[in-house]
Amino acid sequence: MKLVRYILGLLVPPLGVFLTVGVGPTLIINVLLTLLGWLPGSIHAIWVIAKHDEQLSREGRIY
């Protein structure tokens, strides 16, 4: 699932962010960045997914 989120974060940034953190301010920011251009949205999505995975691994709950 982790690889799928990274691929979707690269190809369809809001979908990757949605699958990672759900609906919230992070998703709204990503949608706005994606509307400004695909590259800013993709960079933000990859960053959000990586930070989320890092936080889960620190808590010892990553699968």
How far is the CA of 46 from the CAs of 12, 29, 35, 41, 55, in angstroms? Answer: 11, 13, 16, 9, 14
How far is the C-alpha of 62 from the C-alpha of 31, rounded, in Å?
A: 26
Q: What pTM does this model have?
A: 0.85
* pLDDT beyond 90 at 35: yes
* pLDDT beyond 80 at 63: no
Sign of CA dihedral 15, 19, 20, 22: positive
Region 27-35 average pLDDT: 95
Confidence of residue 53 (pLDDT cuts 50, 70, 90): confident
Region 12-31 average pLDDT: 94
pLDDT digits (tens, 9 = 90+) for 37-52: 999 999 999 999 999 9
Helix (H, G, I), strand (E, B) or coil at 22: coil
